Amino acid sequence: MAAQHTDWWKDAVVYQIYPRSFQDSNGDGIGDLNGITSRLDYIRGLGVDVIWLCPIYASPNDDNGYDISNYRAIHAELGTMADFERLLAEAHCRGLRILMDLVVNHTSDEHPWFQSSRKDPSGPYGDYYIWRPGRGEGPPNNWGSVFSGSAWEKDPGTGRFYLHLFSTKQPDLNWENPAVRREVFDIMGWWLDKGVDGFRMDVINLISKPEHMPDEPLAGEYGNGLLHCANGPKAHEYLREMNERVLSQYDCMTVGETPCVTVEDARLYAGFDRNELNMVFTFEHTGLADGPLGKWSLNKTPLPALKSVLSHWQTGLHGQAWNSLYWGNHDQPRAVSKFADDRPKYRALSAKMLATCLYFMQGTPYIYQGDELGMINAGFKKLEDYRDIETLNAHRELVGGGVVKHRLMMKYFARVSRDNARTPMQWDNTAHAGFTMGEPWIQAGGSYPQINAASQVEDENSVYQYYQRLLQFRREHGIVRDGSFELLLPEHPGLFAYQRRDPSGRLVVLCNFTAKRIRLPLGAFGEGRVALCNYGHGGGLKPCEALRPYEARALWEPTA
Ligand code: TEU
Ligand code: CA
């Protein structure tokens, strides 16, 4: 019987945890489930409602858990099933819900399904993956993997090729096969019956592959297969089946990670009347700094483009579908470094300004671990400091292939490598930032003596307490959830200004994205009182005449 669906996820704030880097509890240098359990009061104290756990399943760790070899077992390095059940129970008794990371576009090549598919093409698992004959000795087409190289790997035994949009150890599942869909739905039901509260779904809009897989125009050495696989012919059909067979039976929350998705696509994936997903992650704002080599670029994100994209998503979904709101995650560099200014003088102001800018929009906020402290990029100088397969493969392909010089590639990595967000959570200023008593699997970022939880939780001027006040305002003012959105001064090159309206009043948000003062047209923003300001509590501040460097102000004008 269908569960009584409440849309609690519209009021929720999600905190994303990358378990390997959050808290080590047994000194092996790897974050684990018991470490997370020991930090639940810190998380609850921030004022969030949901925890999204990046994958915790058994995995050979080729892509840090996004290559799953057993969906019903816990990764031995992270703990046991008993540890997970304790974490779930401890979270629930604190009013925290848990989302699992569902990675079902692909499995690990060490999953028994793939082992059998490879060995016994005509057996029960032969059609679980996407096998194609080569073209002569070469792969079936010119598609490249997101992690460098071809998107096809030849099986020496049979001479066939299998598709892997990501690493060679992440073969794509064949969702056309109803047996595959049944397996996935069973896995989802198994975790929901354990009491988890929903899923973040990894690259879920890639699951429907087109029948014909022609070459793509070359971008470097390969064509971009994602363009052909994103939002494929049966993506919505499969998600509606998933919703009908599983999701509709539980009061759960879903968010799809959907590269290449547009607002129009999002209305289909997350439309209130679509019975597919609750919301999706767009990549439109995080991709604005991309260059000719994709993410490997030193570009800053141009503010006019950022304003245009974020407001388009606000107005394009309002009343029809729900937004997710995120600046960063485990695949992105730290938000302060990417979108604002991580110099010592401006880093805390920037962290508070970015939170104000995004989390007063309509949608569910996703706070990535450490962003509530204003953590910044790692500052790694040596290739040996990096761990991420995407980074290391790119070095081998682009530097090894003579396309980019090593020194420039190291600058790209310092700016955009995923490892910038995967360094240990910065708990205090002791060795390894208090993350581990052992040797960490990846070094802590250089800023941990200055940026850490111990120095912020009790400090009323800290980023952490600013987040607390911001999330409290959200909880206490329905206008943030339901109000309309209107961009103000759209042409202004340094100011991100917008207003929210509903019968309860008007909320004006003003964010200076520059290190310069911005003079404001007096009176342009009404008589609202300063409800939040990153230059102090906001009390007693004169009405706006100018915004100071990276200043954020939220002006609240209740209806008389
Ligand atoms: O990411 C999908 C994805 O598109 C990312 O690879 C992203 O585009 C890229 O990393 C930007 O540099 C998901 C997971 O979030 C990521 O951690 C996994 O590596 C990937 O899928 C494969 O599962
Ligand atoms: Ca550990």
Q: Which domain holds residue 492?
A: 482-558
**Structure token digits, residue 68:** 């799953």
pLDDT band at 269 (very low <50, low <70, confident <90, very high): very high
pLDDT attached to residue 526 = 76
The CA-to-CA distance between both ends of the chain, in Å, stands at 46
Catalytic pick from 63, 183, 202, 341? 202
Q: Judge whether 296 lies within some domain.
A: no
For 149: left if phi > 0, alpha if psi spans -120 to 50, otherwise beta; the answer is left
pLDDT band at 17 (very low <50, low <70, confident <90, very high): very high
Q: Judge whether 497 lies within some domain.
A: yes
| CB-count burial class (<10 Å; 0-12, 13-18, 19+) for 160 | middle
pLDDT attached to residue 84 = 99
CA distance 321 to 277: 10
Q: What angle do CA 49, 52, 55 make, to 5 degrees?
A: 160
Let me know how many helices (H) and strands (E) the chain has, helices first: 15, 23
Q: Judge whether 201 lies within some domain.
A: no
pLDDT attached to residue 545 = 78
Q: How confident is the model over 92-114, as pLDDT tens digits? A: 999 999 999 999 999 999 999 99
Q: How far is the CA of 166 from the centre of ligand 2 (A)?
A: 27
Catalytic pick from 49, 67, 197, 257? 257
pLDDT attached to residue 364 = 98
pLDDT attached to residue 542 = 59
CATH of the domain at 544: 2.60.40.1180
CA distance 456 to 305: 33
Q: How far is the CA of 387 from the centre of ligand 1 (A)?
A: 15
CA distance 54 to 16: 7
**Structure token digits, residue 70:** 């057993």
Q: Which residues line ligand 1 (CB under 6 A)?
A: 63, 66, 103, 146, 166, 202-203, 257, 259, 295, 330-331, 390, 418
Instruction: Indicate the top mutation candidate among 290, 331, 413 to test ligand 1's pocket, ranked by most ligand atoms within 8 A of CB.
Output: 331
Mean pLDDT, rounded, for 127-150: 96
Between 538 and 140, residue with greater pLDDT = 140
User: Which residues contact residue 234 at a Cβ distance below 8 angstroms, ignoring those fewer than 6 apart?
Assistant: 175, 176, 208
Q: Judge whether 487 lies within some domain.
A: yes
Q: How confident is the model over 458-483, as pLDDT tens digits? A: 999 999 999 999 999 999 999 999 99
Segment holding 143, helix H or strand E: strand 143-144
Q: Which atom of ligand 1 is nearest to the CA of 418?
A: 12
Q: Which atom of ligand 1 is nearest to the CA of 259?
A: 4
CA distance 71 to 83: 16
Q: How confident is the model over 492-544, as pLDDT tens digits? A: 999 999 999 999 999 999 999 999 999 987 677 877 889 999 998 554 455 56
Query: At residue 145, does pLDDT exceed 70?
Result: yes
Indicate the residue type of 373. Answer: L
Catalytic status, residue 85 = no
Mean pLDDT, rounded, for 233-259: 98
CA distance 489 to 503: 23
pLDDT attached to residue 225 = 87
pLDDT attached to residue 527 = 75
Q: State if pTM tops 0.95.
A: yes
Q: Judge whether 493 lies within some domain.
A: yes
Query: Which phi and psi angles does 491 have, rounded to 5°?
Result: -85, -10
Q: How confident is the model over 364-409, as pLDDT tens digits? A: 999 999 999 999 999 999 999 999 999 999 999 999 999 999 999 9
pLDDT attached to residue 536 = 84
Q: How far is the CA of 282 from the centre of ligand 1 (A)?
A: 13
Instruction: Report CA dihedral (209, 214, 219, 221) to the nearest 10 degrees.
Output: 110
Q: Judge whether 543 lies within some domain.
A: yes
**Proximal ligand: closest to the CA of 420:** 1
Q: Judge whether 547 lies within some domain.
A: yes
Q: How confident is the model over 67-78, as pLDDT tens digits? A: 999 999 999 999
Instruction: Indicate the top mutation candidate among 16, 62, 66 to test ligand 1's pocket, ranked by most ligand atoms within 8 A of CB.
Output: 66
Q: How confident is the model over 30-57, as pLDDT tens digits? A: 999 999 999 999 999 999 999 999 999 9
Mean pLDDT, rounded, for 343-372: 98
pLDDT attached to residue 133 = 96
- Nearest protein Cα to ligand 1, atom 14: 202
Q: Judge whether 33 lies within some domain.
A: no
Q: Average per-residue pLDDT in the chain?
A: 96
CA dist 63 → 4, 131, 167, 402, 427 (Å): 37, 22, 8, 25, 25
CA distance 88 to 197: 10
**Structure token digits, residue 493:** 């090159």
How many domains does the chain fold into? Answer: 1
Percentage of the chain lying above the pLDDT 90 cut: 94
pLDDT attached to residue 539 = 47
Catalytic status, residue 257 = yes
